[in-house]
Structure 1
Amino acid sequence: MDKSKLSQASIAAQALGWVDPITKAVTPAIHPSSTYIRDPDNQYTSGRIYARDNNPSFDQVEAVLAALEGAAGAAVFASGMAAATAVFLSLSPGDHVVAPTVMYWSLRNWLLTEATRWGLKVELVETSDIAAVRAALRPGETKLVWLETPSNPMWTVTDIAAVAEAAHAAGARVAVDSTVATPVLTRPLALGADLVMHSATKYLNGHSDVIAGALATARDDEQWQRIKRIRAQLGGILGPFESWLLLRGMRTLVPRVRQASASAMAIAEHFHGHPLVSAVLYPGLPSADGHAIAARQMQGGFGGMLSIRVKAGAAAAIGTAARVELWKRATSLGGVESLIEHRSSIEGPTSPVPDDLLRLSAGIEDPSELIADLEQALKAATA
């Protein structure tokens, strides 16, 4: 069997089939050591010097992610924010970057505050509008276009291939936050992206018990090495136990994402046109803006995330979240349990998110029960 041609399901489930060479264990050991022995001749033939630079607990999880993404390499970080900011910190003061108007709130806030203070020129545009992206590009000055697709929490879809073509022509690289799509549904590197970022806390781990981030690269080049140096120098590394938990979660990535996607589609179809709902935001609906692009670049589903806008307004949306019994009122996404959140309350008064919007992360429960719970909560909140 040619293992290089294995499906993503087999790669993830067997974690590339690695076996401990000493114990023959199918589950890797946890390596908590912070330092490694130097040889008598003053060399490090083991290749390891200090755990902040290179911990053996990273090896397998990074290899699995690289295989799933079709990447030249991968690196795990202490959080999604640590991974994302490492990409921007690998640029130089004065560089121009383009990012989405609506995106993961913490990164958006960091870009508009700390990144600009450091000297980056940040321009936010609606990246699902390729004309707007082209207009924002400054040949020779724009160094990075950051995409998030589907975008959180409006779930708009950006044409990765079209943006990559335009960005590369202007001399810029493209990085894609693919947390929601995961490599199960979208492989941005195959569409022309240069980097892929994951908040690995979410779908990659899938059990709400790890804070982690990850990057994957199309090329092992100087920028990639600079990003890895930033990880080591700033200390944004993942702990050995967290690395082990992340790998444990990734083994079930494919069936979890497929189930969550199927449940989200069922929920979206049920509430589309519902008398108490003014809009369902989900790229899997044929009526959704960007559906045709999503159908082209997302294979096997449209993800487990969707949002609904409650017709009666903000108070009714908050009241709906207060009355659910099966859904969990909590920040985050991508876990086995379904989560509901009034997003604009979290983001604050400068949030671009409508205040009647509820963000939903479909887990792996029975979708009919999730629908029934949300139905009763909506009715009670708007009675």
Structure 2
Amino acid sequence: MSPVLPPEIVTPRRRPAQLRPAAPWWRNLDPEFPAWKVVNHMDRFTRLRLQTSSLTDLGLRAGIIAATTALSLPWSLRPDTLLRDRKERGFYHDLATAGDAHAFFQKPKPGIRVRVRHSGPLAHQPKDGQSYLLSFRSPFEAVNPRVREDYHRHDNNEIAWAQYWKHGDKPRPTIAVIHGFIMDSYWVNSKFFALEWFYEQGYDVLLYTLPFHGYRQGLLSPFSGHGYFSHGPLHMNEVHAHAIHDFRVFLDWLLSHGVPSVGVTGISMGGYATALLASVEERLAFAIPVVPPASLVDMVFEWPVLGHLIRSALATAGISIQEARHTLAVNSPLTWQLAIPKERVLLIGGMDDRITFTKHTMLLWEHWDRPAVHWFPGGHVLHWGQGDYLKAMRRFLDGIGFKP
């Protein structure tokens, strides 16, 4: 399915790459995984395009690092947060070790009322249908009872939001899209994923907003998504449980209103949420993660400045990379098995991703027993040949019978 040769891994001291570590992965994945390098085989023109995309990735990464270091990390490293997290991390260790995804990603209660209103004039207005804004007050409760009060202090985050494009005649197979970190704009995501084109092919579309983004961010939030990482690692676990819970409420609503089938795709952190949904929601028609990370600990360890600060803080506390992985393992797709057949999964990876990193896509691909994968000559932001993988997505949807 790939139009180019897949990337290869080079490890320090040229040791064989174990991209499918023995369970549990958090203990047996090489501690030097953040130092593994990716080698690509390509012509000169493709290499030049990758260099351009790499510079764009590095610029965006520098901005994320600066904002996170200045505005999020100090909150995460507060003494009371560190003390609470040290006491409570065993709760999440036990859930990850038990291996039951449904114990952490709990099923929503039935009968949650979803409010439906017409989208504003600036939203996409399909010619042969309607654009709606969906919302509901989320009944989600933090999985760990000891962090519930702290987690639910954020009032705006208690309301879940999505934009829904629906054809006028009848409910259609629906493509659900999950945005990346910070990039929550419905307009930007609709253009990036060519959703108007998919809509014209006959699909309905749902654009889902992650917790602490868009309408869900706090009034004093310095940027959309600030609350995702700014309250410590245990809070981060609960954010992902919350994201999956609220998406499943919208999924329940769609299916209860006659939608014949729903699949999900997402980019970056949205790809990560897509991978988690594929691990817990068997009703999905498909899952297409685009440039997803596989382990947040390993991803951030490779970022300059921020990775060094976090490494130093963990070393000072006597916490190894294996223990840090274990603490966040409940929110990693590497911890869980697929809930849908691998034939309904398509991974899309950038050959020179410098933000979530190419090797994470490769690691997830191996963990899922090598489902379909499409490599494009680009990085995290600039997706050269994006039209090729959008067409590959359409061929994949046709191939699994997901048709209007």
Is the TM value for this pair above 0.5? no
Radius of gyration: which is bigger? 1
Higher normalized helix content (fraction of residues): 2
Using the size of structure 1 for normalisation, the TM-score is: 0.28
Indicate the structure whose relative CO is greater, using CA pairs within 8 Å and at least 6 residues apart. Answer: 2
